[in-house]
Chain A
């Protein structure tokens, strides 16, 4: 069978700028340019731009659009915002997953509530068709229209504490855009025909969907726009960001940043096993006491009564040394018995240990002589619940390392910081 590898609109830029390229999700993507370590550190201390046009999106519109998503998406759109679990409002986005009847994840997603009866759903590379089919198959008689936008949108992310300062000069009206933009909110639209398009325009008039979300744990944005406009925005951000220390970043830095931020990679950390007992309970519609669910959805029965009980847990290592994750890897308890496998094992090069705790290169209270040597971190899938602080050994065919179960890895992340702190002049 002939397989074709797709490319994003920035492919020639990556190649002419020395990127080490590889196939990811069926797309020819940059792994890194000159130095993955420098890219990772730039996002912690300045900013980085990522080509994420390989990601897919679908729209769900119509009178019963909400009802269809409530049936298929894990999070409860009527009760997902903030500690008081308010309904999702227009201009806000929420994370969750699409499950099958077995409670297994088909893919994870962010659902953007654009306007009444109008949702934009961002899924992973190559998953637009599968999720559109899944929604259509489960539509029943609901009056809703599902549209796969795969390869019809450009997407790039700018992440890091300098992101807003770098983006501001490229926006037609940055003050208006940045006013009232909390984490997981968005403004604007990628479609010039949308009434929302006027909310965010670049100086050249291009409308963009600007979302305060990302996949690094750091402050910044995901930007959706017409594919033919992404090249000029990409180069524009690199130009205005130069004095701020911006770097183009590849998928390797994206992976190590998200691992340190305890964010899952779909089809690796979540997948064909029950989507429960993991570090992302906010993706499920739990009642306040965490004992039940607030709504019905595909996969609910299986999650309430799973055929296999597995736990996904985050870990952090003693130093930067890692093992090869995957089916061949083993998690060993104190008696050397295998209790599971390693899903992700990456090195966050921006952190290290000092005075008995973990600091990041961006920690305000880091010791004067602190040098981030990097720590390995990631996720395990085990057959019992382990407690934070517990040690286990991870083994591959070559080496064995001791790691600690944890709730969190990289400290002092900026994703949730008040916007005002991120645009104040420094």
Chain B
């Protein structure tokens, strides 16, 4: 298990209490789970993602991530319409473990309220949660 000081938490992302991250990318926002989340879950063996075009409110469950240990829900950091999902995770779910912020991204959304991004936690605030 990684010590908190070993976790990679990029400065330019925003985080949620449920350990998702959000990153603006032009008109869309990319979403995935944090280094802390993947480390806690252990080997991720299956990722269940929504259909492109589906719409979710902030906080709604958009999929599940299955590790050898357990099945966990994924929650929307911001409301919006899914514009893309990371199809490569079907064959290589381990990307979420190896590279949670880049090739292990999960969905891309068109945010219904871009202002919700600013309400998410900064790296410093997220670290406070992890430190308990």
Binding site for B on A (CB under 8 A): 18-21, 31-32, 35-38, 40, 252, 256, 319-324, 346-347, 349, 374, 398-399
Contacts and interface: CB of A to CB of B under 8 A. Distances in A.
A326 to B, nearest CB: 12
Instruction: Point out which of A18, A37, A349 has the most chain B C-beta atoms below 10 A from its C-beta.
Output: A37
A16 to B, nearest CB: 12
A324 B68 contact: no
Closest 6 CB pairs of A and B: A37-B43, A20-B1, A36-B68, A36-B43, A35-B43, A36-B42
A252 B45 contact: no
Interface string B91-106: 0000001000000000
A422 B40 CA distance: 37
A31 B42 contact: yes
Contacts of B45: 37, 320, 347, 349, 374
B71 to A, nearest CB: 7
A322 B2 CA distance: 26
Interface string B113-131: 0000000000000000000
Contacts of A21: 1
Interface of B: 1-2, 40, 42-43, 45-46, 64, 66, 68-71, 73, 97
A19 B1 contact: yes
A252 B1 CA distance: 14
Given A35-B43, A349-B45, A322 B71 contact: yes
Contacts of A346: 68
Contact of A252 (B42, B46, B71): B42
A249 to B, nearest CB: 12
Contacts of A322: 66, 71
A21 B40 CA distance: 11
Given A31-B42, A374-B45, A349 B68 contact: yes
B72 to A, nearest CB: 10
A38 B97 CA distance: 13
B68 A20 contact: no
B42 A320 contact: no
Contacts of B2: 18
Contacts of B71: 321-324, 398-399
A22 B107 CA distance: 32
Given A35-B97, A252-B68, A324-B70, 18 more contacts: A20-B1, A20-B42, A31-B69, A32-B42, A32-B68, A35-B43, A36-B68, A37-B45, A38-B43, A40-B68, A252-B42, A256-B68, A320-B66, A321-B66, A321-B71, A323-B71, A347-B45, A349-B45
B40 to A, nearest CB: 8
A319 B90 CA distance: 13
Contacts of B46: 319-321
A42 to B, nearest CB: 13
A32 B69 CA distance: 10
A252 B66 contact: no
A40 B97 CA distance: 17
A133 B38 CA distance: 44
B30 to A, nearest CB: 25
Given A37-B43, A347-B45, A252 B64 contact: no
Contacts of B66: 320-322
A40 B69 CA distance: 13
Contacts of B97: 35
Contacts of A37: 43, 45, 68
Nearest to A346: B68
A374 B45 CA distance: 8
B1 A347 contact: no
Contacts of A35: 42-43, 97
A24 to B, nearest CB: 13
Nearest to A348: B68
B79 to A, nearest CB: 22
